[in-house]
């Protein structure tokens, strides 16, 4: 499994989730491509209303689109705005973790 994006042949931009027409310009010339699987944390929050706290974040992908996801395999104190993240998959579901140096 990989994270898929829509790539518009009309405006040249990528969008998530992939769909036709392009939500950015309306073109129907859209193909699906694999994302690089890297990005930057735009915003985040630690949710404490579960049995174990977890991190919800908006991640801006290297290709440009921003999506909501969970940050996993990372201590909460290491999750900061601007941190570089990479794609990880669990049971065919895409998540992100802070990139290790």
Instruction: Output the tens digit of pLDDT for each of the chain's 101 residues.
Output: 689 999 999 999 999 999 999 999 999 999 999 999 999 999 999 999 989 999 999 999 999 999 999 999 999 999 999 999 999 999 989 999 999 87
Fold classification of 38-98 is OB fold (Dihydrolipoamide Acetyltransferase, E2P) (2.40.50)
Local structure of 77: helix, strand or coil: helix
Question: Domain boundaries in the chain?
Answer: 4-34, 38-98
pLDDT value of residue 1 = 60
Residue 87 tokens, joined: 């794609």
Beta strand extents in 12-77 (DSSP E only): 14-15, 30-34, 38-47, 54-61, 66-71
């Amino acid at each position: 499994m990989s994270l898929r994006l829509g790539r518009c042949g009309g405006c040249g931009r990528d969008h998530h989730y992939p769909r036709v027409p392009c939500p950015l310009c309306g073109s129907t010339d859209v193909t699906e491509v694999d994302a690089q699987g890297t990005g930057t944390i735009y915003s985040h929050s630690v949710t404490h209303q579960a049995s174990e706290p977890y991190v919800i974040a908006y991640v801006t992908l290297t290709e440009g689109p921003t999506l909501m996801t969970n940050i996993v395999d990372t201590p909460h104190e290491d999750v900061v705005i601007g941190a570089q993240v990479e794609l990880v998959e669990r049971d065919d579901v895409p998540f992100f973790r802070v990139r290790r140096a």
